[in-house]
């Protein structure tokens, strides 16, 4: 009598979201927490570096840009590499790179050395994010996948926020270099923890079909009651086998959804970095005290955190891209209202909170939906390239804002223009939703749904 067999996707989707999956999600959250700390580190220490090196503030602009370029390259490279070698090794390698480069940054003595080291740090950081998203999503059941990814991603926001509190004390007591020492040692320790405890994605292992012992070990932790003699049938995953690469994102009728996802990521991150970079300046120029402007601007991330925690369940329960379109449409409305708020602190705080809820929450939701869009063999590539294209938008956003401010645009017209990118993202999300409904209705088995 042949051994019983079970389909992997059915095994994951029909079981509760258990302790082992929560552990994997928490470990990925810890990793992106450190990612968030290190990504924001240069911003926290910039004033101290300017003073220590005796340079103008503008001289650090290329250093900021180098970090974003590194993040873009890391996402574009790290995603496809993980589809070939696995999520786990690329994620650990990314932590080792950004940990080591952060430590080296503590030894920097010039703008040139800072630029080179932050570029290299960004490459490591860029490798981490798409693989943390893919790994979390591939352990989570379909019914809670968006929620799991978005909750995990809160680690990034917490790392960026709490890093500011830690940086203030470190700089005061030990100098600016201490921020990079801490930001380097912690990822190296986390890489050791991940090497010891972080499993490879079972979906990746079943598609590769080259490591049956590793797959069995992961499944025994995922489903301890699974019979030892059961065979794992790739079943619904079988269509995902084969070569993967950037070209695969445009094969099998995926070109349309891939391009629309890139539009969403580019426009969303363009707006997010425009707002986070220039909101304090615009509010202060309108006549509000600088400390009050900074406090009001913090509502962007507070709203974003609440949006992240709230919207995951929405995306898991209703057509996700339709919901994303509604969220981005709400973002466009809130951004326009920011420009119409004048100098009312209460109205500004409320509208910026709403913008953060929709823009930040929408962007993190887009990360989760990108992971759900592609099959296993190209999930890392799909998420990585979407993030990479989005990072280009994050570079463009502050530049566009600077040009508009140099032209002395008033806040009303400035924020009307700022609402355009998220409106475009909304249209793209609705277009994906319409296409998904047509595909489901007519070609469900040939649609290349994510496994």
Q: Does one domain contain both 259 and 214?
A: no
Q: Given this model, what pLDDT does residue 290 score? A: 67
pLDDT at 237 over 50: no
Question: Are 104 and 52 contacting, i.e. CB atoms less than 8 angstroms apart?
Answer: no
pLDDT confidence of 213, banded at 50, 70, 90? confident
Share of the chain above pLDDT 70, in %: 90
Q: Does one domain contain both 234 and 252?
A: no
- Mean pLDDT over residues 272-280, rounded? 83
More confident residue, 440 or 313: 313
Q: Given this model, what pLDDT does residue 302 score? A: 85
Q: How many angstroms separate the CA atoms of 75 and 125, rounded?
A: 8
Q: How many angstroms separate the CA atoms of 260 and 149, rounded?
A: 21
Among residues 221, 238, 255, the one where a domain terminates is 238
The token pair at 237 is 């995953």
Of the listed ranges 185-189, 241-245, 352-356, 427-431, the least confidently predicted one is 241-245
pLDDT confidence of 164, banded at 50, 70, 90? low
Q: Does one domain contain both 147 and 265?
A: no
- Mean pLDDT over residues 198-212, rounded? 81
Q: Which of 66-70, 418-422, 436-440 has the highest mean pLDDT?
A: 418-422
Q: Given this model, what pLDDT does residue 15 score? A: 83
Q: Does one domain contain both 24 and 133?
A: yes
pLDDT at 124 over 80: yes
Q: Does one domain contain both 257 and 310?
A: yes
Q: Does 37 fall in a domain?
A: yes
Q: How many angstroms separate the CA atoms of 95 and 82, rounded?
A: 14
Q: Does one domain contain both 30 and 159?
A: yes
Residue 364 CB contacts under 8 Å (≥ 6 apart), including other chains: 149, 150, 153, 304, 307, 308, 311
Looking at the structure of the chain, the number of domains it has is 2
More confident residue, 220 or 104: 104
More confident residue, 18 or 357: 357
pLDDT confidence of 13, banded at 50, 70, 90? confident
Among residues 220, 238, 256, the one where a domain terminates is 238
Tell me the pLDDT of the chain averaged across its residues. 84
Q: What is the pLDDT of residues 286-328, one digit of tens each?
A: 888 867 777 788 788 788 889 988 998 899 889 999 999 999 9
Q: Does 194 fall in a domain?
A: yes
Q: What is the pLDDT of residues 39-96, one digit of tens each?
A: 777 777 777 887 888 877 667 778 877 888 898 999 999 888 888 888 999 999 999 9
Name the residue among 383, 247, 361 with its Cα closest to residue 303.
Answer: 361
The token pair at 165 is 């509190």
Q: Does one domain contain both 287 and 342?
A: yes
Q: Does one domain contain both 258 and 379?
A: yes
Q: Which of 181-185, 324-328, 397-401, 436-440 has the highest mean pLDDT?
A: 324-328
Q: How many angstroms separate the CA atoms of 184 and 117, rounded?
A: 12
More confident residue, 108 or 232: 108
Q: Tell me phi and psi for residue 335, to 5 degrees.
A: -65, -40
Q: Does one domain contain both 200 and 257?
A: no
**Coil, strand or helix at 231:** strand
**CATH number of the CATH domain containing 157:** 1.20.1250.20
Q: Given this model, what pLDDT does residue 449 score? A: 44
Q: How many angstroms separate the CA atoms of 147 and 150, rounded?
A: 5
Q: Does 451 fall in a domain?
A: no
Q: Does one domain contain both 173 and 67?
A: yes
Q: Does one domain contain both 192 and 256?
A: no
Share of the chain above pLDDT 90, in %: 35
Q: Does 162 fall in a domain?
A: yes
Q: By residue range, what is the domain housing residue 366?
A: 246-446
pLDDT at 394 over 70: yes
Q: Does one domain contain both 282 and 209?
A: no
Q: What is the pLDDT of residues 175-199, one digit of tens each?
A: 888 989 998 999 999 999 999 999 9
* End-to-end Cα spacing for the chain: 29
More confident residue, 402 or 422: 422
Q: Given this model, what pLDDT does residue 446 score? A: 42
- Mean pLDDT over residues 348-361, rounded? 93
Among residues 196, 220, 238, the one where a domain terminates is 238
């Amino acid at each position: 009598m042949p051994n019983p067999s079970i389909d992997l996707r059915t095994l994951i989707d029909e079981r509760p979201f258990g302790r082992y999956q929560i552990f994997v999600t928490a470990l990925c959250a810890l990793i992106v927490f450190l990612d968030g700390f290190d990504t924001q580190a240069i911003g926290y220490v910039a004033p101290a570096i300017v003073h220590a090196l005796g340079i103008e503030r503008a001289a650090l602009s290329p250093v900021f840009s180098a970090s974003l370029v590194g993040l873009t390259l890391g996402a574009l490279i790290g995603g496809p590499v993980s589809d070939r070698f696995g999520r786990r090794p690329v994620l650990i390698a990314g932590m080792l790179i950004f940990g080591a480069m952060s430590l080296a940054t503590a030894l920097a003595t010039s703008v040139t050395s800072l630029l080179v080291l932050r570029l290299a740090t960004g490459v490591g950081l860029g490798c981490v994010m798409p693989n943390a998203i893919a790994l979390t999503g591939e352990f989570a059941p379909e019914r809670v996948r968006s929620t799991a990814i978005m909750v995990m991603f809160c680690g990034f926001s917490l790392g960026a926020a709490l890093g500011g509190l830690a940086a203030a004390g470190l700089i005061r007591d030990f100098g600016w270099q201490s921020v990079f020492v801490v930001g380097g040692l912690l990822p190296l320790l986390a890489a050791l923890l991940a090497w010891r405890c972080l499993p490879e994605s079972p979906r990746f292992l079943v598609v590769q079909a080259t490591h049956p012992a590793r797959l069995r070990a992961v499944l025994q932790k995922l489903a301890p009651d699974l019979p030892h003699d059961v065979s794992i049938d790739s079943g619904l995953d079988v269509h995902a086998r084969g070569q993967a690469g950037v070209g695969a994102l445009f094969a099998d009728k995926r070109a349309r959804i891939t391009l629309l996802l890139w539009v969403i990521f580019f426009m969303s991150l363009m707006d997010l970095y425009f707002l986070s970079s220039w909101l304090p300046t615009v509010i202060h120029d309108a006549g509000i005290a600088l400390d009050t402007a900074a406090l009001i601007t913090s509502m962007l991330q507070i709203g974003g955190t609440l949006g992240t925690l709230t919207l995951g369940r929405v995306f898991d329960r209703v057509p996700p891209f339709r919901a994303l379109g509604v969220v981005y449409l709400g973002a466009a409305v809130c951004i326009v209202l920011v420009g119409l708020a004048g100098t009312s602190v209460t109205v500004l705080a409320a509208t910026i909170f709403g913008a953060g809820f929709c823009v930040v929450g929408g962007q993190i939701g887009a990360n989760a939906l990108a992971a759900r869009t592609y099959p296993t063999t190209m999930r890392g590539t799909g998420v990585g390239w979407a993030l990479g294209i989005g990072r280009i938008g994050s570079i463009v956003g502050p530049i566009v804002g600077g040009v508009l401010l140099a032209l002395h645009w008033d806040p009303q017209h400035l924020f009307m223009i700022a609402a355009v990118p998220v409106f475009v993202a909304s249209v793209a999300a609705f277009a994906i939703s319409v296409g998904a409904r047509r595909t489901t209705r007519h070609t469900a088995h040939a649609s290349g749904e994510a496994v």
